[in-house]
Amino acid sequence: MIVEQMKRRFGDNYAYVVADERTKEGIVIDPSGLTDKILDFVSKKGLRITYIFNTHRHPDHIGGNAELARETGAKVVKHASSAGRDDLAVDDGDSLRFGELEARIIHTPGHSPDGISVLVGKNLFTGDTLFINECGRTDLPGGSSEQLWDSLFHKIRILDDDIEVYPGHDYGPLPHDSLGNQKKNNYTLEPRTLEEFIQFMLEP
């Protein structure tokens, strides 16, 4: 499996290309305005992009959707709550195949109502739900600490320790890390009741 993590020279958003090495079919996760960089990588590797996933609808993540879709013929994939007429709408538990790989959708709202995480094999792309040693904020429109608590503790923390976490932003000391390490080292994943977590998210 090919997993390519990309970042702007100035900025902290991550974009990803994930592909089946044998069939050369791939997906893009959160283009983040890195269209030229993505297309250059895809061309050099001889890949065919079939889907463009958005982990949520915020502009810093969806930038480049239209151009990438036009250049590659790929379908834009969003959670059903924010999918447009021409998008492919998905919800929790849905799966999309590319090559011999499968992208499984986990609905992880909290930072944004339409937040999804994408699990491909042992690689989890968490958007702005979980960062390395941090979690997403909930004080933006549509944010919910209650939903984020449920996403973190009932959908992500329960996954296997050997899953690799790939976040939507470069906010931590590492570009990616195992979920097992994050369970030990990420203070936002320390066990808390819902009430404790809501209070925790209110702290500066």
For 180, residues 6+ apart whose C-beta sits below 8 A from its C-beta are: 161, 162
Alpha carbon distance 141, 89 (integer Å): 21
pLDDT of residue 8: 80
Domains of the chain: 2-202 (3.60.15.10)
Alpha carbon distance 105, 43 (integer Å): 27
Are the C-beta atoms of residues 162 and 180 closer than 8 Å to each other? yes
**CB atoms inside a 10 Å sphere around CB 139:** 9
In order along its 204 residues, the chain shows pLDDT tens digits of 999 999 987 789 999 999 999 999 999 999 999 999 999 999 999 999 999 999 999 999 999 999 999 999 999 999 999 888 889 999 999 999 999 999 999 999 999 999 999 999 999 999 999 999 999 999 999 999 999 999 999 999 999 999 999 999 999 899 999 999 999 999 999 999 999 999 999 987
Alpha carbon distance 70, 192 (integer Å): 45
Q: What is the CA radius of gyration of the chain?
A: 16
pLDDT of residue 72: 97
pLDDT of residue 134: 98
Alpha carbon distance 136, 152 (integer Å): 10
Q: Which amino acid is at 189?
A: L
pLDDT of residue 178: 99
- Take residue 27 and report the two structure tokens written for it: 């997906």
The whole-model pTM stands at 0.96
